[in-house]
Amino acid sequence: MFEDPLFWLFVGPGLLLGLYAQARIKANVARYSQVPTPSGVTGAQVARALLDAQGLADVKIESTEGVLSDHYDPRDKVLRLSQKVYYTPSVAAAGIAAHETGHALQDAEDYFPMEARTYIVPIVQLASQIAPWAFVAGLMLQWNTLTWIGVVLFGASFFFALLTLPVEFNASARAKELLIRKRLIGPDQIEGVDKVLDAAAWTYVAAAVSAVGVWLFYIFMLLGRGRSASAARG
């Protein structure tokens, strides 16, 4: 598969975009982690202030291990921030904390794309496990229907990545608006928040491009085999 030029034609753009996105987010987080917030508030304090202001005092905030491991857990109603975000009074930490707070607000408002993404997670996980087995088994058994089932299941990852885009973009928009409205970030510092969150957004775009690239590769590979089989019979 890796020797097939068609594989790199479809998957390559997503991989390159992913490398670009990762380099960009690391550079912007490193840069704006050195820029302090106006009042010296940490990421955890930013998140707490925004949650309380929106009537979400029941949402807990916890520190978690890892780098850029920040996330909101809608099942437990917990906002988990990496230690560098939780304890750091920087523009980067404030932007990331506000972004995750945006997800908590989406959850509280039953924001449809987020609700849909949450519900399909088990389905996508199951489909991702079954897809390669169905695809390979279909090829080995020369059972075209089973092979196409595998291809369709591969598409679940693309659908999930596509559904993730509005969820993440909306959370970032909420974050920027809330930070300014609550005066936790000055107008002159919102540019730093923009760069950090925009760089993070590119990682989700890269994931979507990669997912559709992989999906298209399997579709074209299967179609190619079908044409080859038809030609052999002819």
Tens-digit pLDDT profile for residues 23-58: 999 999 999 999 999 889 999 999 999 999 999 999
Tell me the C-alpha to C-alpha distance, in Å, between residue 139 and each of 29, 136, 153, 174: 45, 5, 15, 47
Q: With the C-alpha atoms ordered 172, 175, 177, 180, is the resulting torsion angle positive or negative?
A: negative
pLDDT in tens, 132-186: 899 889 888 888 889 889 888 888 888 898 899 999 999 999 999 999 888 888 8
Catalytic hit among 3, 65, 100, 115: 100
* Rounded Cα–Cα distance for residues 105 and 98 (Å): 10
Runs of H (alpha helix) within the chain: 5-32, 43-53, 83-86, 91-108, 112-141, 144-181, 190-233
* Contacting residues for 227 by C-beta, under 8 A, at least 6 apart: none
What's the pTM value of the predicted model, to 2 decimals? 0.85
C-alpha R_g of the chain: 21
User: What whole-number distance in Å separates Cα of residue 92 and Cα of residue 82?
Assistant: 12
Active site residue 100: yes
Q: What is the pLDDT of residues 3-22, one digit of tens each?
A: 667 778 888 888 899 999 99
